[in-house]
Amino acid sequence: MMTVLVILLPIATATPPALGDNFHSGLDYCAPPPVGPICVDTQETYMTAPKTSECQSELDRYVKMVVAYRVCVNNRVGQTILSTNALLERFKCKSHGGRNC
């Protein structure tokens, strides 16, 4: 007797920010965001309000990219699990003599 493992995980349904499209190459790959803003670790960032504000804007953009990447990865994982479950079901059906699987 064969045991078939079916893995069900929740799929992210949140719509990624507009930047999310930048992380999907069309080849089912989610490109990770670039390195975070270096201004966070630069002393001059905190010496003037405009520099601090500029760094905050860079950090906000980076956070949006990270969120978009996370959504992309979650969606890709969900798609992979659904595809794997369908494959396992077809195998199970065919291994039991099914013809219209």
Q: What are phi and psi of 7, to 5 degrees?
A: -105, 125
Give 22-51 pLDDT, tens digit per residue: 444 455 689 999 999 999 999 999 999 999
pLDDT digits (tens, 9 = 90+) for 63-91: 999 999 999 999 999 999 999 999 999 99
| Long-range Cβ pairs for the range 83-90 (8 Å, 24+) | 84/7, 85/6, 85/7, 85/8, 88/4, 88/5, 88/6, 89/4, 89/6
pTM of the entire structure? 0.63
Domain boundaries, the chain: 18-90
**DSSP H helical ranges for the chain:** 49-95
